[in-house]
Amino acid sequence: MQYGIAILPTREIQEFADSWRRRYDPYYDKIVPHLTVREREEMDESRLAEAVHQLERTVARFAPFSLLFNRVSTFYPVTNTLYLAPERPETVIELHHAVCQGPLSLESPKYVYTPHITIAQEMSPDELHDLYGRLRMMRFDLKMDVNEIHLFERAEDGRWSIRQSFALGG
Angle, CA 77 vertex, CA 76 and CA 83 arms, to 5°: 15
Residues with a catalytic annotation lie at 34, 116
DSSP 140: -
Q: Are 96 and 12 in contact (CB under 8 A)?
A: no
Q: Are 32 and 4 in contact (CB under 8 A)?
A: no
Query: For the chain, how big is the Rg over CA atoms in Å?
Result: 16
Q: Are 143 and 68 in contact (CB under 8 A)?
A: yes
Q: How far apart are CA 123 and CA 32, in angstroms?
A: 19
SS3 37: strand
Number of Cβ atoms within 10 Å of the Cβ of 89: 16
